[in-house]
Amino acid sequence: MNTKESLSLKCNRIFNESVERYHVANSVDVEMQNPYESFEIEKYLYEKNHIDAVQWHLEDIIRKPDIDPAEALAIKRRIDKSNQERTDLVEMIDNFFLAKFKDVKPAADASINTETPAWAIDRLSILVLKIYHMNEETLRVDASPRHIESCRKKLETLLEQQKDLSDAIDALLDDIAHGKKYMKTYKQMKMYNDPSLNPELYGKNK
């Protein structure tokens, strides 16, 4: 009997661990305490979800109608930085898979997927956060029964989506491992963060 943990199970386990640990302090300023110290996939997965968790709450805070404009601008800067860190981590995770499958020779009829394994894992990380917070909504004592029931139905859909996405990730990795699909990576090339590509930055002194 094969008891090896699938990649999707590993992802969901580590993402849940990260989300639960974040909400102990429940602060966007909480210091990340990554329990995975080696440069293996677990370390990257935990760090990825922690960044997502912090950004999730920054996105909530910045939408407060009475937020001070200076605070909103500071949070927007944090979100921009977080987006870049998130993208960098996704690319690191894809590099892990590129190294893992470097000796696999794709079949002659192998096809490329619409997204890389790491970008699918990125969606799974966000989905775990959605599930956590939607479940919180179903437990509110200050909400109406209609709100609770609506959130329960949404939670059911999210859980179904989590299963489907998890299965799809495992299937994609299996196809790559057996040469049925191959992966290529492209740098995201976010232009707004690059002083040499954003005209508002390189042209500001002209």
What value does the mean pLDDT take over residues 1-25? 90
Q: Tell me the three state secondary structure of residue 176.
A: helix
Measured at the alpha carbon of residue 138, what is the angle toward residues 133 and 139, in degrees to the nearest 5?
95
- The pair of structure tokens assigned to 123 is 């969606």
Which residue, chain included where needed, has tokens 């299937």? Answer: 171
pLDDT, position 102: 95
pLDDT, position 113: 93
Long-range Cβ pairs for the range 56-64 (8 Å, 24+): 56/129, 56/133, 57/26, 57/28, 58/28, 58/82, 61/28
Query: pLDDT band at residue 190, thresholds of 50, 70 and 90?
Result: low
Residue type, 140: R
> What is the spatial distance between Cα 12 and Cα 42, in angstroms, rounded to a whole number?
11
Query: pLDDT band at residue 189, thresholds of 50, 70 and 90?
Result: low
- Neighbour tally for 116: CB within 10 Å: 22
- The pair of structure tokens assigned to 102 is 């470097």
What value does the mean pLDDT take over residues 9-30? 97
Query: pLDDT band at residue 188, thresholds of 50, 70 and 90?
Result: low
- Neighbour tally for 50: CB within 10 Å: 22
Q: Is pLDDT above 60 for 1?
A: no
* pTM to 2 decimal places: 0.90
Measured at the alpha carbon of residue 41, what is the angle toward residues 38 and 42, in degrees to the nearest 5?
70
Query: pLDDT band at residue 206, thresholds of 50, 70 and 90?
Result: low
What value does the mean pLDDT take over residues 176-188? 90
> What is the spatial distance between Cα 50 and Cα 8, in angstroms, rounded to a whole number?
17
Q: Where are the domains of the chain?
A: 7-195
